Amino acid sequence: MSKLIVLALIPGGYEWLIILAVVLVFFGNRIPGVARSLGSGITEFRKGLSDGENDSKDAKHLEDKDGESS
């Protein structure tokens, strides 16, 4: 019985369209700024990952050089 009540409260197809329309009306001017900041955040994250990989490769390369000279 409680599952039926929960399922009845979940919005259907047309209800999601109405919710989306309301969100676009109220927050439509902010969406491009949010998308831009999200994109720059992802770019910075990927840049940080590649920098970390480069640092670990450099450290491994230095370890190999130290091991060969000993």
> Which tens digits make up the pLDDT trace of 1-26?
577 777 778 888 899 999 999 999 99
Sign of the CA dihedral with 36 first, then 40, 46, and 50 last: positive
Which structural domain, as residue segments, surrounds residue 26? Answer: 2-69
Q: Please, which residues have CB within 8 angstroms of residue 67's CB and are 6 or more apart in sequence? A: none
pLDDT confidence of 67, banded at 50, 70, 90?
A: low
pLDDT(69) > 60 = no
**Number of domains into which the chain is organized:** 1
Alpha helices, H only, 1-70 = 2-9, 13-27, 31-69
